[in-house]
Amino acid sequence: MSGPGGGSTRSGQVRVSVLLDVPEQEAEELRLAYKGISAALAGTAGLLGNELLRDTADPRAWTVMSVWRDLPSFRVWEDGPDHRAQTAPLRRWVRGARVQRVELCY
């Protein structure tokens, strides 16, 4: 999305990716956990949206992608008292410490 003059109107937004390794027989359980977490996070300050994605080449590889207004908004939530409890249902599938935070630059 470009703004006037060709610059991004979303510059500064942050995408956070959490990589998951989910056995195929647990895919529905993952979907239900994601839906519950997504509902719990609705209205979180700075959270613009989130998605559950599956790798087309590897059915065990999933990603939760969230979009934040900016890094400070994400950090406030990440460091807050509810973060760990809200995301606990996904923790068993997280691939090691595979969380990526990237900023939209253009």
Domain that holds residue 72: 23-103
Residue 15, domain member (yes or no): no
Q: pTM of the full predicted structure?
A: 0.82
Domain of residue 86, CATH code: 3.30.70.100
Count of domains forming the chain: 1
Residue 3, domain member (yes or no): no
Residue 65, domain member (yes or no): yes
Residue 6, domain member (yes or no): no
Residue 87, domain member (yes or no): yes
* Lookup: tokens for 1: 């999305």
**Rounded CA separation 103/10 (Å):** 10
pLDDT in tens, 37-64: 999 999 999 999 999 999 999 999 999 9
